[in-house]
Chains A and B, each alone.
Chain A
Amino acid sequence: MHKQSLFHISKREALPLHKALLIRGGIILLSLVFCGLVTTVLTGENPFSVYGTILDGAFGTSRRLGVTFRNVAILLGISLAVTPAFKMRFWNIGAEGQVLIGCLATTACMILLGDKIPNILVILISLIAALAAGALWGFLPAFFKAKWNTNETLFTLMMNYVATQLSAFFIIVWEVPKGAGKIGIINQTTKAGWLPELGNAYMLPILVAAIMTGVIYIYMQYSKHGYEIAVVGESQRTASYAGIKVDRVIIRTMVLSGALCSLIGFILTSGVDHTLTTTIVDGRGFTAVMVSWMSKFNPFIMIAASLLLVTMDRGATEVSSSLGLNHSFADILTGIILFFIIATEFFITYKVSLRKSGKKEG
């Protein structure tokens, strides 16, 4: 009566790191081959020339190289920012809104204070305003989660759109020229509130992301806070038996997470794009969630993961523009790579063995 399933699935002992990395590397290669096939099927191009175009699009000229690494830095920064909360098993998918509200706060300072007080003060006040706004966006869901166990995934999701509509509101309030429905480049002539360039236009975000990588690594690995986060993530009960104030850890970590997200927002508006649109974050808040998770919350693996996704994104943009396709092609490729990586986790965590046929049990 009872049908035996064909496979037996059991939990594996933890794989040694090099073996797990080898499997992941292999899967990423496989997913790239598959992406090439999909591209060939959809466009009829030779897969090797497609890869050539992808690499050319991402690294072909020094300008492209710069943009690619700057985008890596932005994505990496957001991924790092969401990591402490995830490690605590707090499913914050509101990074999109937390970054955007940082952009909005920065924009407000640049427009309202620009040219009225010294530039350095404008930048400082923008930074503080952005951090405060992001901290608030992180505090609200955390507070309700800690006090009344309100579902944080749904809460943070809604906060994204509150931030979006708030930005849309202020974009129209500050639109230039009236009726244009957009802000355009802020303080284009005076460059008030613009972050200074370090060497070239790409260096500053890269530097910030590099510092953040180190700081987050140390914070998570070697600080008391990092330890508390890990314990709360493993088991809230254990944490409270051990005398950790779970409420406080949740709120503190999310405030930090939100503030770091809006730090990236500050850099986006003040140092990179010098404008505010409702799509300035461009889904990277969501992508960062996936980057952080598939890197197992390890900051250094996140560098590689961000690089992979940004390369594919920039490359696919090049492929689609050279073949006259739609930019969304990049999203399809990103999706495919993510599916491959998501599926691999199963084979790293679990062991699948065929059942001996013929021997019917039970």
Chain B
Amino acid sequence: MFDFVSFFPRAVMQGIPLLFGSTGEILTEKSGNLNLGIPGIMYVGGISGVIGAFFYEQSVGSGELNGLLAVLIPFLCSLIGSLLMGLLYCFLTVTLRSNQNVTGLAMTTFGVGVGNFFGGSLIKLTASEVPSIALGRTSIFFKTALFGETNGWFGQMFLSYGFLAYLAIIIALGASFFLNRTRPGLHLRAVGESASTADAAGINVTRYKYLSTCIGSMIAGLGGLYYVMDYANGVWSNNAFGDRGWLAIALVIFTIWRPSASIWASILFGGLYILNIYLPTGGQMALMELYKMLPYIITLLVLIVVSLRKKREDQPPASLGLSYFREER
């Protein structure tokens, strides 16, 4: 039978990386930057955390890990890694006004390359038999359920996750509040709708674009960190993260640029991603691949319906994908 209580937590764990990614990308896109480098940034966020954790585990040797440091070091490394990627994207597209699509795609190529290269190098360092790095000792601290051991269906469904999962939800709610209820949030949306109007109103367009894109990158990078440290039990293997970065971008469209909606939508996408394991396929392995197509098809339908209905509050930021140059008409 379909066991929803055991299905739901797995859907959530699939969804959390997507939630981080889409919240980061929404903040970024609200400034008018279409950052297609998110998949690469999530790889970099993941591998930076792995590198930090790896060297911390090495330096401690067989001794006891300090719980706080074991969490803090990978966390900060991940933030720094994805911040650097965000800065690079901003420098190229905001300061040098390059084409955002091209820059983003190059960042994805580069970021995935960085992830797999350093992943591969670390694997060589450990000289292990399997092509992966296991950081189980660090992972334990990430996986520790924030609310302790819980029983019953409620505990299993809502209280059984590591702290990053709750952080993802808090960040999404915070981003939603920031965008809709605060003055800087209003300014940010103005920049994304029409940078020249915002500029004329005295808003520092460059600063808003830089800040929102860099912070967005750091949030997205945490998705990579969560994936390795919590979901994958601290095991990094190359390309394991897959195309989740693109799925996060799909999620942005699906939620029509609303981080709060991302919370349930990411769980839905996560569920669709693993639904094939739970649905009866009658031994038809091929059908599983078709189920995996569902998130993309649904996203396409949302994209079409949104453009059909032409409701103004549902549209993408008007200047999405365009660079801003004050002296251009």
**Per DSSP, are chain B's interface residues mostly helix, strand or loop, or mixed?**
helix
Contact indicator A154/B253 (Cβ below 8 Å): yes
Contact indicator A329/B296 (Cβ below 8 Å): no
Contact indicator B307/A93 (Cβ below 8 Å): no
Contact indicator A332/B303 (Cβ below 8 Å): no
Inter-chain contacts of B14 with A (CB < 8 A): none
A181 and B113 alpha carbons, distance in the complex (Å): 26
Inter-chain contacts of A273 with B (CB < 8 A): none
Q: Is A151 an interface residue (CB 8 A)?
A: yes
A334 and B289 alpha carbons, distance in the complex (Å): 31
Would A93 and B36 be within 8 Å (CB), given that A151-B316, A162-B293, A289-B102 are in contact? yes
A255 and B114 alpha carbons, distance in the complex (Å): 36
Inter-chain contacts of A283 with B (CB < 8 A): 109
Contact indicator A293/B293 (Cβ below 8 Å): no
User: Quick one: which of A158, A327, A329, A334 contacts B299, CB cutoff 8 A?
Assistant: A158
Would A332 and B110 be within 8 Å (CB), given that A172-B286, A345-B98 are in contact? yes
Contact indicator B246/A148 (Cβ below 8 Å): no
Contact indicator A172/B289 (Cβ below 8 Å): yes
A153 and B293 alpha carbons, distance in the complex (Å): 19
Contact indicator B296/A338 (Cβ below 8 Å): no
Q: Chain B nearest CB: distance from A335 CB in Å?
A: 3
Interface residues of B in 267-306 (CB under 8 A from A): 285-287, 289-290, 292-293, 296-297, 299-300, 303-304
Contact indicator B303/A151 (Cβ below 8 Å): yes
Interface residues of B in 67-107 (CB under 8 A from A): 88, 92, 96-99, 101-103, 105-107
A153 and B322 alpha carbons, distance in the complex (Å): 13
User: Quick one: which of A149, A173, A335 contacts B286, CB cutoff 8 A?
Assistant: A173
Inter-chain contacts of B110 with A (CB < 8 A): 331-332, 334-336, 338-339
Q: Chain B nearest CB: distance from A148 CB in Å?
A: 4
Please choose the segment from A113-121, A163-171, A188-196, A262-270 that sits at the chain B interface, where 4 or more of its residues have CB less than 8 A away.
A163-171
Contact indicator A326/B238 (Cβ below 8 Å): yes
Inter-chain contacts of A154 with B (CB < 8 A): 249-250, 253, 303, 316
| Interface size, A (range) | 35 or more
A93 and B249 alpha carbons, distance in the complex (Å): 14
A171 and B297 alpha carbons, distance in the complex (Å): 20
Q: Which of B109, B115, B308, B320 has the most CB of A within 10 A?
A: B109
A10 and B97 alpha carbons, distance in the complex (Å): 12
A172 and B119 alpha carbons, distance in the complex (Å): 30
Q: Is A79 an interface residue (CB 8 A)?
A: no
A338 and B115 alpha carbons, distance in the complex (Å): 18
Q: Is B313 an interface residue (CB 8 A)?
A: no
Inter-chain contacts of B310 with A (CB < 8 A): 148
Q: Is A64 an interface residue (CB 8 A)?
A: no
Q: Is B328 an interface residue (CB 8 A)?
A: yes
Inter-chain contacts of B286 with A (CB < 8 A): 169-170, 172-173
Q: Is B124 an interface residue (CB 8 A)?
A: yes
Please list the residues of chain B having a beta carbon within 8 angstroms of any beta carbon in chain A. 34, 36, 88, 92, 96-99, 101-103, 105-117, 119-121, 124, 238, 243, 246, 249-250, 253, 285-287, 289-290, 292-293, 296-297, 299-300, 303-304, 307-308, 310, 316, 320-321, 325, 327-328
**27 A-B Cβ contacts within 8 A?**
A9-B325, A9-B327, A148-B310, A153-B321, A158-B299, A158-B300, A159-B300, A161-B296, A162-B296, A172-B285, A173-B286, A286-B109, A289-B105, A290-B105, A290-B106, A294-B102, A325-B120, A326-B117, A326-B120, A327-B116, A331-B113, A331-B116, A331-B117, A335-B107, A338-B102, A339-B88, A345-B98
